[in-house]
Amino acid sequence: MERKSRLAQREAKYGYLFISPWLLGFLMFVIIPIIASLYLSFTNYELFKPGTSWIGFKNYIELLTQDRLFWLSLYNTVYYTVFSVPLGIGVALILALLLNRKLYGVTIYRTIFYLPSVTSGVALSLLWVWLFNPTYGLINVLLGKIGIQGPGWISDPKWAKPAFILMSLWGVGGTMVILLAGLQGVPEQLYEAAELDGANWWQKFRHVTFPMISPVIFFNLIMGIIGAFQYFTQAYVMTGGGPVDSTLFYVLYLFRQGFLLLRMGYASAMAWLLFIIILLLTIIQFKLASYWVYYEAEGR
Amino acid sequence: MKRLISLVVGILFMCTFSSLFGAEVTTVTIWTPHDFDVRYKDKGVYETLWRPFEEEHPNIKIQWTRVPDWEQKFRIAAAAGQLPDIFAVDGINVPAYATRGLLEPLDRWVPKEVQRDYWRPALEEMTWDGKLYAVGLETNAHLLYYNTALFKNAGISKPPTSWEELVSIGQKLTQDFNGDGKIDQFGLSIPLGRNEYVMWILSAFIWANKGDIISPDGTRAVCNEPKAVEAVQFLSDLVNKYKIVPKAGQIQAGPEGAFIGQKVAMEYRGTFSLGPWQKYLKTVPWKVTFTPGAVKGTRVSGVGGWHFAMWSGSKNKEAAGEVIKYLTSPYMIKTLASSYGIALRMSISKEMKQDSTYPWSVGIAQMKVGRPRPRHPEYPTITDAMQQAFDNAILGGIPPKQALDEAARRINEVLKKK
Amino acid sequence: MLLTGSITKQRDGEKELMKMRKSQFNLLTKIFFYIVLSGLSIGFLIPFLWMISTAIKKPEYVWVFPPQWIPNPVVWKNFPEALKIMNFSFHLRNTLIITSLTMLGTLLSSSLVAYGFAMFRFKFREVLFMLLLSTMMLPSQVTIIPLFIVFTSLRWVNTFKPLIIPSFFGSPFFIFLLRQFFLTIPRELNEAAIIDGAGYFTIYRKIILPLSKPAIASVAIFQFMGAWNDFFGPLVYLNQMEKYPLSLALYAFRGVYSTDWHYLMAASVVITLPCLIVFFLAQRYFIQGITLTGMKG
């Protein structure tokens, strides 16, 4: 009895020791900006203007009751997330499964699919503006060759968000790599055992592959949600929120309020509302995880 | 041990000597988004821009930095109180920054005679509330670029000089060559979407129709009055009724693609392309003319540009002031003009014969009827509201009066706060 | 959820039969895979092909219509010219310093912290882990100004310190990732080692790390790529052009009113190459099928 609690104590002590680098960094670099932004959200802080004062929940109330664009940008963001995250993981998973073999040249294919994640920056975003051109952009030209009249993409309010979702699918290379790494960790013996029991490829996937990589899929799901809700740069560079606010994503609107209209206090309130939303969604996902995520280390 | 002692002695020696000779060198830091390092790559930025100054002022060194993403970096640094001595500022932001105490008045270093030598609309951008807050870096006026080859093909000899002609000529130039139902060539291109460039070009349409955005005394919005509404209706018609303007992106084969790709025959643009587009003359025979006024015989141009300002929190104001003086010098004005177009000071522009050399002459003529965007500390809201109105009216199918009423409401809200 | 099967000598014969059937099937599936993969690859490559095509064009041909895929004339000298204008080798040094140091910091700290969260039970573990994740949920646009002020008071502005030092304190993204991977390692291995008297650190070094090679390689790849292309951090914290890494130096071609597309694309292609090389080389850690010995089931 005593020996167990001593072991448990020792484990706890070492646990804290190992996470101490993060804890220290958190206390030094992270906590001050977080508290500062929370404080600012309750003020009327404007960039460059002296005389910031406490205004309580006014920012929050204005956002929730008077700001049409708050709700619109939230809708745009949820729309984007709901499509891009599952599709992204799905496509990445298919690619990872296809490329998880010792085929000749598989490394080259992996590199090709990963390539989009490697280039970032304005050059590429502007390239996509050209690709999406309804009449002369490559996408519609190719669609035309197989007899489809392509839509207006980023110049059409109805198609602008799908255009961004399509663009995000192009960038699944990173997710694919993580899933590949996860697939590496599935022991060969399990597949062999399954085959001998007469399993076909779907059963193998469902009963061996999926459970074994579920921790990694879970990671991609959480990070996907966190990332998609903060989608900003591409819209900032490519459309500025238009046409007709159809690509005004939440963080883009936040940026506009804080940096362009200088209402930093208001923008901080927006940030904290977003934080609460993402946090709630994440906690829900963690609770649901016990139903489908399998951790070898903890047994099931 | 011996080495350590001689090192210490050496340092002490140098310190005493340098303070004896008062060789106190002040470094003046300058930030711009402008790519001087590329524009002046032949001789190098230092040789071209700063050495003449440093030779005259041995105690002052200039350290210039090009800032890649100006909007974000500038605001973060400013909010944290970490700005350089001199920085570039978009003329539209001068009232906003000046009233918020970010800018140092420059009248000390720039005498009134020199100030009056600047083009009037540029000077308007550089001043606020009777004080000079910035000195010009570059300034631009509006031009109508047109493709003479496409004009010839359609049998048109002269560019439009009124809105009516703009429409009729534009319609002749909007064609579906192969009869497949898709328009292959549009008559006109204007910027559409959500950015300041749209505001710069489209606000001039309101002025061209003798309307305005805010009242001259800056107390109320007038963008929803009949003349302005007419102008925005005209813009919407260009896109939706006469269909001579492609919707944003419809034909833009890239930021410069529409005109340079020869998919539009005319384009509203600034004088800033006169230099960079020289290289395209081989493939696209373009010419420039005035932007037509609503009625034949009238015209107006928007004017805008970036200027050098001094940070009010600078620790080296005297030295920076010397640099400001230098930035107004004929040498600098000429050098910057060689890269960015219009020479900011009228006397220099005359010296460079800009008003008699095509295509600069067209730009100069436009400067003479030019005006800056509304001067007000709450300009950020004004431009956001107007951009939204343009977007909603032209692309969003909302009636111009309604869109502009909304913009007027937003603008009046912030104007009241002052 | 796991199917257990016992591998006995009796079943070896069946294994042989299955192997034969598999090899016939294999040829067809192989061809199928190649076709599908090649088709997708082309789709993925198109933007790059356009980038490269633009990089070797004369500026006045960049926007010519209809678009030229193979330019005429081909201007290879855009590459050396672009690199010279942006002072490539000078800024490469800065990028290398920042990238290598942040990689070191991240690999060291993130894996240790992930190990702590994954393999140890302690009070508040779940809360702290949620706290870790929640630091990623607040948009940086509102934390950047206070953070900048923090670094200003530390006098770290205009140095590489704000870019490098925080990486030695773990990065939530990588901690989460590695924690997920570590949790796929069976607990029995840990417990066996503890019974054998091994210290926690030894377990980390001798058991966890070797079994996590693909995960560590992924972290290395992502951290390299992230640091190599990092734009926002250097933009905010560096004030002198000599300190700019490649990601900022690249903006030399984006003027206020015009962009040198051919140079921009050429330089972008060159800057991308090291990331590809790193990715390619790291692939050898992605060997299929790890067999865990000494395991039951």
For residue C195, pLDDT over 50 is answered with yes
Task: Show residues of chain B in contact with C61, CB under 8 Å.
Answer: 283
Task: Show residues of chain C in contact with A226, CB under 8 Å.
Answer: 133, 136-137
Q: Which helix (H) or strand (E) segment is B265 a member of?
A: strand B264-270
Min Cα distance A254 → chain B (Å) is 13
Domain boundaries, chain A: 64-289
Point out which residues pair with B135 in neighbouring strands. Answer: B308
Contact (CB<8Å) B255/A126: yes
For residue B21, pLDDT over 60 is answered with no
Output A140 or B179, whichever has higher pLDDT.
Answer: A140
pLDDT at C4: 37
Mean pLDDT of B257-278: 89
Are the C-beta atoms of residues B200 and B373 closer than 8 Å to each other?
yes
Min Cα distance C196 → chain A (Å) is 14
A37 touches chain C (CB under 8 A): yes
pLDDT at C130: 95
**How many CB contacts within 8 angstroms connect chain A with chain B?**
88
Task: Show residues of chain A in contact with C33, CB under 8 Å.
Answer: 98, 101, 103
List the single residue in C with minimal CA-CA distance to A97: C33
**Cα distances (Å, whole numbers) of residue A216 to A97, A175, A295, B55, C215:** 14, 10, 10, 63, 10
The gap between the terminal CA atoms of chain C, to the nearest Å, is 12
| Secondary structure letter of residue B309 according to DSSP | E
Rounded to 5 degrees, what are φ and ψ at B66? -90, 130
B261 touches chain A (CB under 8 A): yes
CA separation for the pair C70, C50 (Å, rounded): 9
Predicted structure pTM score: 0.90
Total length of chain C:
297
A205 touches chain C (CB under 8 A): no
Task: Show residues of chain B in contact with A245, CB under 8 Å.
Answer: 388, 391
pLDDT at C21: 58
SS3 content of chain A, % helix, strand, coil (to 5): 75, 0, 25
C72 touches chain B (CB under 8 A): no
Considering only the beta carbons, identify the residue of A115, A193, A298 that sits closest to C44: A115
Contact (CB<8Å) A21/C217: no
pLDDT at B8: 67
For residue B173, pLDDT over 60 is answered with yes
Q: Residue A32: count other Cβ atoms within 10 Å of its Cβ.
A: 15
For residue C172, pLDDT over 90 is answered with yes
pLDDT at C43: 84
A8 touches chain B (CB under 8 A): no
pLDDT at A5: 83
What does the mean pLDDT of chain B come to?
A: 91
What does the mean pLDDT of chain A come to?
A: 89
For residue A19, pLDDT over 90 is answered with yes
Q: What is the ipTM of this complex?
A: 0.91
Tokens coding C5: 């099967």
From A54-58, B222-226, C31-35, the region with the lowest mean pLDDT: C31-35
List the single residue in A with minimal CA-CA distance to B247: A155
pLDDT at C46: 84
Of the spans B82-91, C19-28, C49-58, which averages the highest pLDDT?
B82-91
CA separation for the pair C130, B179 (Å, rounded): 61
Contact (CB<8Å) C143/A278: no
CA separation for the pair B380, B95 (Å, rounded): 10
Contact (CB<8Å) A261/B252: no
**How many CB contacts within 8 angstroms connect chain B with chain C?**
96
Considering only the beta carbons, identify the residue of B63, B76, B262 that sits closest to C236: B76
CA separation for the pair A198, B319 (Å, rounded): 84
List the single residue in B with minimal CA-CA distance to C83: B38
- Give which of C169, C272, C184 is closest to C228, Cα–Cα: C272
B384 touches chain A (CB under 8 A): yes
Q: Which residue has the tokens 């003086």?
A: B325
Contact (CB<8Å) C141/A215: no
pLDDT at C6: 43
Rounded to 5 degrees, what are φ and ψ at B140? -140, 150
B270 touches chain C (CB under 8 A): yes
A130 touches chain B (CB under 8 A): yes
Q: Which CATH superfamily is domain A64-289 in?
A: MetI-like (1.10.3720.10)
H helices present in B225-316, as ranges: 226-240, 257-260
Task: Show residues of chain B in contact with A150, CB under 8 Å.
Answer: none
Each residue of A188-225: pLDDT tens digit?
888 888 888 888 888 888 888 898 899 999 999 999 99
* Stretch 225-264 of chain A: residues touching chain B, C-beta under 8 Å: 239-245, 256, 259-262, 264
Mean pLDDT of B181-206: 89
A280 touches chain B (CB under 8 A): no
Percent of chain A having pLDDT more than 70?
97
Tokens coding B321: 């002031």
Determine the residue type at B378. E
pLDDT at A134: 79
Are the C-beta atoms of residues B206 and B393 closer than 8 Å to each other?
no
pLDDT at C287: 60
pLDDT at B2: 66
B193 touches chain C (CB under 8 A): no
Chains in contact with A, where contact means 3 or more Cβ–Cβ distances below 8 Å, are B, C
pLDDT at B20: 52
Q: Which residue has the tokens 């490697």?
A: A118
* Stretch 78-137 of chain C: residues touching chain A, C-beta under 8 Å: 109, 112-113, 115-123, 125, 128, 130-137
Q: What angle do CA A136, A140, A146 make, to 5 degrees?
A: 125
pLDDT at A299: 57
pLDDT at C63: 78
- Give which of C35, C176, B35, B326 is closest to A285, Cα–Cα: C176
CA separation for the pair A43, A67 (Å, rounded): 17
pLDDT at A7: 81
Min Cα distance A41 → chain C (Å) is 9
Tokens coding A66: 């008077």
Determine the residue type at B248. A
A150 touches chain B (CB under 8 A): no
Q: What angle do CA B291, B296, B297 make, to 5 degrees?
A: 80
CA separation for the pair B221, B217 (Å, rounded): 10
| Secondary structure letter of residue B158 according to DSSP | S
Hey, of C75, C243, C258, which one would you mutate to test binding to chain B, going by the most B CBs within 10 A of its CB? C258
pLDDT at C196: 81
Q: Which helix (H) or strand (E) segment is B134 a member of?
A: strand B134-136
Hey, of A143, A149, A262, which one would you mutate to test binding to chain B, going by the most B CBs within 10 A of its CB? A262
Contact (CB<8Å) A155/B250: yes
Residue B1 pLDDT grade (very low, low, confident, very high; cuts 50, 70, 90): low
Hey, of C142, C189, C277, which one would you mutate to test binding to chain A, going by the most A CBs within 10 A of its CB? C142
Contact (CB<8Å) B252/A259: no
pLDDT at A3: 61
pLDDT at C254: 86
pLDDT at B196: 92
Are the C-beta atoms of residues B166 and B285 closer than 8 Å to each other?
no
Mean pLDDT of B60-86: 94
